[in-house]
Amino acid sequence: MNDSFDISYYHSPIGLIQIKSINHKICSVLFVEKETEALMIDSVLNKECIKQLKEYFAGTRLQFDLPIFQIGTDFQQKVWNEVYKIPYGDTTAYALLAHKIGDIKSIRAVGTTNGKNKIAIIVPCHRVIGSDGSLTGYAWGLDKKEWLLKHEIEHSGPVEGRLF
């Protein structure tokens, strides 16, 4: 078993993205300021992730097909699994996510968990917004969140019930 990360970088239209995988699963896709790893290993999986990200940014990929893994509590896993299911070009609210996981009182915990997502874009935490349609919190800045949502709207057409 390989216990070291394979690390790659992708220069996206909205910033540099660092991709990490371990044991044949993507474990982080993060916006970063600069390449910081001295040793990069462009594994087959990381190259596939970059390919799929390029397709996403070109507007031709609406869903990712990559093995992913994040360390988290059972609650966090439930939240991330629900976030993963939000369709391309659609949005949901924190309260709706809390309802879907069966704990309507957990709205704040859902928001905190969403903010701890380490697999940006693929686990589309940018698709979670305020109940009133406002853009709230995004670990990499509201400008990126707004860009991603507008990009998806542009490439998906109208979606019934979209909040944003």
Which residues are known catalytic residues? 125
3-state helix vs strand vs coil in the chain, percent to 5: 40, 20, 45
What whole-number distance in Å separates Cα of residue 24 and Cα of residue 63? Answer: 19
Give the E-state strand segments of the chain in sequence order.
6-12, 15-22, 25-32, 92-93, 128-129
Beta bridge partners of 15: 12
